[in-house]
Structure 1
Amino acid sequence: MKFFNLACIIALVLMTFSCQKEYMKYSDKPDYVTNPQAQYKSYFESYDAALQLWGVPFEELYIPTSVGIAHVIVSGPKNGEPLVLLHGMNATSTMWYPNAKAFSKDYRLFAIDFILEPGKSLNTATFDNVDEIASWYYEIFDKLELEQFSLIGASKGGWLSVKIALYNQERIKKMVLLSPAQTFIWIRPSMDLLKNIITMFSSDDKKTEQTLKSMSSNVDNINKIYLEQFYQSHTIDSISKFTMAMQPFSKRDLQSLKMPVLVLIGDDDAINNSKTVKMAKEILPYGQGEIIKNAGHFLSIDQADVVNQKTIQFLNIKNKK
């Protein structure tokens, strides 16, 4: 019996070492980061400054894929259950700074910069359709050796999470969708969105200021270091053709999702309303939904403690399967 236990321990150590060794080959910073073009130099500096808000030790990986290099931030215990984070449009993975410490306590985080938007991922080719974007994420999951994992997606990242789950839901244990954009309902027209359209033709600072006011219930609560990066990202932002192609998923697609799904939205959300929560509860086979008070579209920042608590509680519940 003692010999058996010792063998198990040795096997576990070797497996952990092997996994760490696999990630080591992705740890070298590529030239476009170490010697960036002039227009990206200050942006990468602001990105690195914002990343220092993470609150826990982390490592950065640069994973080669069929369409470029994927930048992934990793933190949390090496033996923790994998938890993948997908950020909102042009927000980059640094947007998770109010949540990373809480999530990293028990989970192994993998925050991925979307390759067609500002961040540290670099695209060298393009996608022909949205399904190829989902396939790209699975390239990353395969290289990280994530057989099964949970997903948290914010805004556009929520829409992408559902697309990824539909692509191969056998690997997704649970999903948390934070104010998912264009996922359950069409983005409803509002004065805030109208103001955003109007300010598209004004200065970058004015556009970003209006975006923040329409998406956050308390802009003053956003860390100034992250705000600097957010401002800079909007000077190099990119709205791809796939963003315009996003549309709510069919009832049939949503009903096909067999994993537990938690949907959270803010009570002052410019993107969603109570219908989103109602659909999550009524259509998803294992869906839950809730409205967070005093929060806008950026609810993971506006009410970080509440979102962290509800997310972790949901993830910790064992599936009844």
Structure 2
Amino acid sequence: MSNHSPIIPPLHDSGIHYYQTYDESLALWPVDSETFYVSTRFGQTHVIASGPKDAPPLVLLHGALFSSTMWYPNIADWGAQYRTYAIDIIGDKNKSIPTDLHGTRAGYADWLLDVLDNLGIEKTHMIGLSLGGLHTMNFLLRAPERVESAIILSPAETFQPFYQDFYTYAFGLVQPNGVENFIKWMMGDRNGFYPIFAKQYHAAVMWNDEARSVKPQADGFPYVFTDDELQSVQVPVLLLLGEHEVMYDPQSALLRASALVPGIEAEIVKNAGHVVSMEQPEYVNQRVLRFLAK
């Protein structure tokens, strides 16, 4: 594990601004943490670690454009019992530094294997939201021996394809008021982001960096897993979906997951939309801990 910060390639103004907003959001982290990079064959991966060093490991994978700072409402509860590793997904807008990213499903699983190996983690619990939930399902199918259990929160596709509305709002992010429109569509009138985090999210959208804008491809993400893939899951899984999910029908996702994934626990979280861990943190925090304690 490399604990030093690598040499960061020169950043344009939008990248410098993004790094500043990331650090401002990280100041919301309510417990002690350490940040460092680990080397992988795909580049340098940024990690935020918290919790007792001798506690069981818990890997956290964030949503697209959110970065690992999104876990600030959850980390105090989870970090009290687990050594948490919030990992910036390589190729997304965050502090990880991709150098040779192919963006395939197999490649992303290999990237996570490299991260776990370099962190010295033989087997771990995992939590992923949205893009992170998709990564979690992809990884537990390809390396089940490395996963103790998995919590999947509002996964990107995975069980159901996105509505067309998702692409309409996502492609409009860079337009005037596009970020505000996307957040309003995603979260409705329930819960806005904390202003500092909203500033970081906006900076991520506006950060124009080819290395951190992976192009979709046939064997990459987003992806809806096949019946056979879902039926082959070998690790315990908890699926939480928000009742106000707008990216796909949550009831259809819950029914398909429940019918196919062996032994899955799946439920709809009340008064929450896509970002369940930020919208209903108290409930999600405790529900996750109950599942992990089994």
**TM-score in same-fold range (> 0.5):** yes
Q: Does 1:48 align with 2:19?
A: no
Judged with a 3 Å threshold, the aligned counterparts in structure 2 of structure 1 residues 130 and 242 are, in CA distance, closer, same or farther, namely: farther
Partner of 1:112: 87
- Secondary structure of residue in 1 paired with 2:64: coil
Q: Structure 1 residue 52: deviation in Å?
A: 1.3
Structure 1: distance between partners of 2:39 and 2:174: 37
Partner of 1:247: 223
- Secondary structure of residue in 1 paired with 2:38: strand
Conserved in 1, the CA contact under 8 Å of 2:140 and 2:235?
A: no
Q: Structure 1 residue 278: deviation in Å?
A: 1.6
Aligned residue runs from structure 1 range 21-40, under 5 A: 23=1, 26-32=2-8, 36-40=11-15
Q: Structure 1 residue 280: deviation in Å?
A: 2.3
Q: Structure 1 residue 219: deviation in Å?
A: 6.2
Partner of 2:67: 92
Partner of 2:205: 234
Q: Which has the higher contact order (CA 8 A, sep 6+)?
A: 2
Structure 1: distance between partners of 2:214 and 2:145: 29
Partner of 1:202: 175
Judged with a 3 Å threshold, the aligned counterparts in structure 2 of structure 1 residues 69 and 219 are, in CA distance, closer, same or farther, namely: farther
Partner of 1:3: none
Structure 1: distance between partners of 2:205 and 2:286: 30
Q: Structure 1 residue 221: deviation in Å?
A: 4.1
Aligned residue runs from structure 1 range 168-247, under 5 A: 168-190=143-165, 193=166, 196=169, 199-200=172-173, 202-203=175-176, 206-218=177-189, 220-236=191-207, 238-242=212-216, 245-247=221-223
Q: Structure 1 residue 201: deviation in Å?
A: 6.4
One-letter amino acid of the counterpart of residue 78, structure 1: K
One-letter amino acid of the counterpart of residue 172, structure 2: T
One-letter amino acid of the counterpart of residue 196, structure 1: Y
One-letter amino acid of the counterpart of residue 175, structure 2: S
Structure 2: distance between partners of 1:300 and 1:254: 24
Partner of 1:291: 268
The structure in which a higher percent of residues are helix is 1
TM-score by length of 2: 0.91
Conserved in 2, the CA contact under 8 Å of 1:216 and 1:299?
A: no
Residues 201-252 of structure 1 deviation map (CA, whole Å, 9 limit, x = unaligned): 622xx11111111222456542111111111011026542247742211111
Structure 2: distance between partners of 1:161 and 1:198: 25
Structure 2: distance between partners of 1:90 and 1:221: 16
Q: How many residues get paired?
A: 288
Residues 296-317 of structure 1 deviation map (CA, whole Å, 9 limit, x = unaligned): 1111111111111111111111
Partner of 1:6: none
Which one of the candidate residues 91, 106, 114 is aligned to 1:131?
106
Structure 2: distance between partners of 1:185 and 1:94: 27
Conserved in 1, the CA contact under 8 Å of 2:130 and 2:153?
A: yes
Structure 1: distance between partners of 2:206 and 2:25: 17
In the alignment, structure 1 segments of 5+ residues that lack a partner are 1-22
Deviates more, 1:229-238 or 1:171-180: 229-238
One-letter amino acid of the counterpart of residue 255, structure 1: Q
Residues 268-310 of structure 1 deviation map (CA, whole Å, 9 limit, x = unaligned): 1012411111222221112011111111111111111111111
Q: Structure 1 residue 115: deviation in Å?
A: 1.4
Q: Structure 1 residue 55: deviation in Å?
A: 0.7
Q: Does 1:315 align with 2:292?
A: yes
Q: Structure 1 residue 197: deviation in Å?
A: 5.6
Residues 96-117 of structure 1 deviation map (CA, whole Å, 9 limit, x = unaligned): 1111111101011111111111
Residues 135-180 of structure 1 deviation map (CA, whole Å, 9 limit, x = unaligned): 0110010011111101111011111111111111011111111001
Q: Structure 1 residue 200: deviation in Å?
A: 4.6
Structure 1: distance between partners of 2:153 and 2:36: 25
Partner of 1:83: 58
RMSD over equivalenced CA pairs, Å: 2.0
Judged with a 3 Å threshold, the aligned counterparts in structure 2 of structure 1 residues 149 and 95 are, in CA distance, closer, same or farther, namely: same
Conserved in 2, the CA contact under 8 Å of 1:130 and 1:242?
A: no
Which one of the candidate residues 237, 241, 246 is aligned to 1:270?
246
Larger radius of gyration: 1
Identity of aligned residues (%): 32
Conserved in 2, the CA contact under 8 Å of 1:280 and 1:288?
A: no
Structure 2: distance between partners of 1:126 and 1:289: 33
Judged with a 3 Å threshold, the aligned counterparts in structure 2 of structure 1 residues 245 and 148 are, in CA distance, closer, same or farther, namely: closer
One-letter amino acid of the counterpart of residue 73, structure 2: P
